[in-house]
A and B are shown apart, each in its own frame.
Chain A
Amino acid sequence: MSGNIIKAKYQFHGGLKLKGHKEMSMRSDIAAAKIPDKLIIPLQQHIGKPAKAIVTPGETVLKGQCIAKLDNGNNVTAAVHASTSGEVITIEQHPLPGFVKQLADCIIIKPDNEDKWHPSVQPVENPLALDKESLKQILIEAGIVGLGGAGFPTHIKLVQDKNIDTLIINAAECEPYITCDAMLIKEQGSKIIQGIQFILHALDVKQCLIGIEDNKPHAIKTLSVALENSNIKNIQIVEVPTRYPAGGEKQLIKTLTGKEIAINQLPRDAGIICHNIATVYAVATAIIEGKPLIDRTVTVTGDNVNQPRNLQVLIGTSMQDVLDECRYTPYGSQEIIMGGPMMGNHLDSSDYPVIKTTNCILVKNKEAESPSLPCIRCGECARVCPANLLPQQLYWYTRAKDLDRVQDYQIFSCIECGCCDYVCPSHIPLVQFYRYAKTEIWTQEADKKKSDHARQRHEFRQLRIERKKKEDAERKAKKKALLQKKQGIDTSEQDAKKAAIEAALERVKSRQTEQTAIAKNTSNLTEEQQKKIEEVEKRRKAKLNKQNKPEDK
């Protein structure tokens, strides 16, 4: 064993020894795939915001020409380039593999088959003499994203931070079937070492560990020889035992450094930056040749793929074209998977473009699904869980919709690697349950935020109304008090007025009574006169009665 190769000192919990299925796609060298009739280039092939298209339909573009740029002020995004020369047909929505948002804007290009390079594609001279910022700028313009699967824009992970002391290159490639990284190392070892140098330079970090599974002796040897020839001393190859998911970022960091990155932490919090080895190669070509990320190595393999191999595929080529080139003959019930059998995206058809994160196109015969039996708590899932969780308890509480408990049992540490699914004797689709639980918790939290917001608004409104009422009341009270104060000053005057009015009224009244007394001429009558009046009254009444009688009858 060469001096620059060491064995990993640490190990992660659980994991699986899976059958590799890797030999079949490693028999022939990487070859360039044909230029297809149509390229479907999505504006979003990475985590973050979509890039902004800068070409219009009808425009002629050249190979390597930037066709979509970073949106102004948005850092988490990546530029997109024309994979070959041709004409922009249209910009339309097309389904995208492997993203939550399935439909995305894509630039459709009809290649002219001349494959003519854009003049902007020029090698960078003396890159190691460049300052870090301009090196980073080159990678931003080349549209480089993490090619291991997540598609995180690479420039974001080129931060300069004094705490970062280790660069880890992930070459583990732990999923069965996938061989694109191993093949790339085998063929491009020295370029990869150069790429690592660039990244070390951009990061200003002194130490680099390359983690690679020990089932790739050929790749390990190539890297070791390339390292020796390059005379670089601060890069070390670390052989890790072949055990899925050794290539999980956190698992690899643990295996290489013994550090465990917590769920709410990033590797950089532990002084580590992690890049995939295919990304390193893309960095190298972007700097050495000036070539932006317009193609990538893709493993095409699986059942009924008659020529399983690795192809250098232009971004935007339809998966069907790639499968055709490897002489795939559909047979029976099969499915296309982008990525590996464990964590890959199961696609409903091959009508998807190859994007920057497409490391493998795998065809698998659909296995007859065996019905799930109840969990018998055998604990196999806990034994293989690389996150050291208790999957059966998570399953239990997810079924019971006890989401608080699910969180107590650390659901968010689950990396959805599928080890528990794989070993479950009751064939319970555990990962599906965890995805459901996670989504449910997210939705609930979003709802809670919303309702909290609404409640706050409501409470604030209540408070405002309350305050207004109080203010109004205070204002009224003040006014009243003021009024009363005023009244207090004028009391004597008013009383005098009142008294005057009353006196006047009294006078009027007494005068009136006087007048009526005078007006009544019946007041001083004699007895005789009174008697006569009474008699007259009597007669009148009797007469009145007589007149009314006939009517009464």
Chain B
Amino acid sequence: MDNIAPNSVTRIMLNVLYALIPGIIAYVVFFGWGIVLNIIVAIITAVATEMFMLALRKRPIKPFIMDGSAVVTAILLALALPSLAPWWLTFIGVSFAIIIGKHLYGGLGYNPFNPAMIGYALLLISFPLEMTIWLQPDNNLSFTQNLNYVLYSSLNDINIDAITMATTLDTVKTQSGLGHSLTTIQSNYPVVFGQFAGKGWEWINLMFLLGGLWLLYRRIISWHIPVAFLISFSVMALIFYSSTETSPLFHLFSGATMLCAFFIATDPVTASTTPRGRLIYAAGIGVFAYIIRMWGGYPDGIAFGVLLMNMAAPTIDYYTRPKAFGES
């Protein structure tokens, strides 16, 4: 295989999109069509706001729309949302991500923060209720029911509480906070646990891992960020294994871990760019994400971990410049 990376931004973004497909399929299998609807709303919003902003900034629209970066942002944000989300939630998150998170900083290549995570953080802080309605796996909601909820925020005759619940990570956090041991939690809430992590989530993570490995193989991303992130995250989980009773394996395959490792933390624009810098950057995300996941007030800590390290990226880059050829 040639050691040349695909030679255009569009091809990079397209490859990222392909790599997301297995994970999205797993998502649909376990949680229904809602996520697809979210993705569609997100893409429409992203493309529309991107065009609007490009027109406002008097930039050529076609090459920048074709680069696919807005679509990737949209899908990543949609994947972070609960699958049962009203359209306006997605709309607010995505348009904020594109307008504030991306274009006000100068557009593609100039944004210091990961736009998808900026949008997610905004929604999490502003709409905590909507952001915590998670469907339980195998909920048997039909496509039309999902569509109905996206459009009108209602499921008609179905009581929403009957089919929604806290996520696996949330359940573990709240219950162990109440003093329950993991085995008690597992027997009390069998529906959220799968083989070794959250039910459904373990498969989704596995599929994102697969997609990520493919990206590595295609040399779309370098190994530094995923490896450093997964190692630091596992080390954190290992250190606190006995006190939290949750294994590194459980953490690796719960929540957005794999999505972060291969698709979010690897956003080149907002990550560190030197090889050593990338290791530090990703290890930092692992530490923060674990701390926030376990002891923070939010269901998962990935977004804030990423945003925190985004801030540090320029400084990390400055101090990790590799030695030039012949430089002593």
Tell me which of A254, A260, A373, A390 contacts B9 (CB under 8 A): A373
Contact of A215 with B by CB under 8 A: no
Which residues of A lie under 8 Å from residue B327 when comparing CB positions? 262-263, 410, 413
Closest Cβ of chain A to B318, distance in Å, is 9
- Name B328's closest neighbour in chain A (CB-CB): A262
Within 8 A of A (CB), among B1-28: 2-9, 11-12
Which residues of A lie under 8 Å from residue B324 when comparing CB positions? 263, 387-389, 410, 413
Within 8 A of B (CB), among A336-383: 370-371, 373-380, 382-383
Closest Cβ of chain A to B279, distance in Å, is 13
On whether the beta carbons of A378 and B12 are closer than 8 Å, the reply is yes
Which residues of B lie under 8 Å from residue A413 when comparing CB positions? 324-327
Complex Cα spacing A168 to B78, Å: 59
Complex Cα spacing A17 to B275, Å: 21
Contact of B153 with A by CB under 8 A: no
Which residues of A lie under 8 Å from residue B269 when comparing CB positions? 376-377
- Name A243's closest neighbour in chain B (CB-CB): B3
A376-B109, A382-B273 known; A387 vs B64 contact (CB < 8 Å): no
A379-B222, A388-B324 known; A425 vs B5 contact (CB < 8 Å): yes
Within 8 A of B (CB), among A303-320: none
Contact of B50 with A by CB under 8 A: no
A262-B327, A379-B273 known; A17 vs B3 contact (CB < 8 Å): yes
Closest Cβ of chain A to B63, distance in Å, is 6
Chain A interface residue count, CB cutoff 8 Å, equals 39
On whether the beta carbons of A387 and B325 are closer than 8 Å, the reply is yes
Which residues of B lie under 8 Å from residue A423 when comparing CB positions? 4-5, 7
On whether the beta carbons of A260 and B321 are closer than 8 Å, the reply is no
Which residues of A lie under 8 Å from residue B4 when comparing CB positions? 16-17, 422-423
Contact of A191 with B by CB under 8 A: no
Contact of A393 with B by CB under 8 A: yes
On whether the beta carbons of B107 and A393 are closer than 8 Å, the reply is no
Contact of A531 with B by CB under 8 A: no
Which residues of B lie under 8 Å from residue A380 when comparing CB positions? 5
Contact of B108 with A by CB under 8 A: yes
Contact of B143 with A by CB under 8 A: no
Which residues of A lie under 8 Å from residue B6 when comparing CB positions? 425
Within 8 A of B (CB), among A12-40: 12-13, 16-17
Closest Cβ of chain A to B65, distance in Å, is 12
Closest Cβ of chain A to B297, distance in Å, is 32
Contact of B300 with A by CB under 8 A: no
Closest Cβ of chain B to A400, distance in Å, is 12
Complex Cα spacing A33 to B275, Å: 51
Contact of A409 with B by CB under 8 A: yes
Beyond A254-B325, A371-B60, A382-B275, 7 additional contacts (C-beta under 8 Å) are A250-B326, A376-B108, A377-B273, A389-B322, A390-B273, A410-B324, A426-B8
**Residue ranges of B at the interface with A (Cβ–Cβ < 8 Å):** 2-9, 11-12, 60, 63-64, 67, 69, 107-110, 222, 268-269, 271, 273-275, 278, 317, 321-328
Shortest 10 CB-CB contacts between residues of A and residues of B: A374-B109, A262-B326, A410-B324, A413-B324, A378-B268, A387-B325, A260-B326, A377-B273, A377-B268, A425-B9
The 24 listed contacts between A and B (C-beta, < 8 Å) are A13-B325, A17-B3, A250-B326, A262-B326, A262-B328, A265-B326, A370-B8, A373-B9, A373-B108, A374-B109, A376-B9, A376-B109, A377-B268, A379-B274, A380-B5, A386-B325, A389-B324, A393-B317, A393-B321, A425-B6, A425-B7, A425-B11, A426-B8, A426-B9
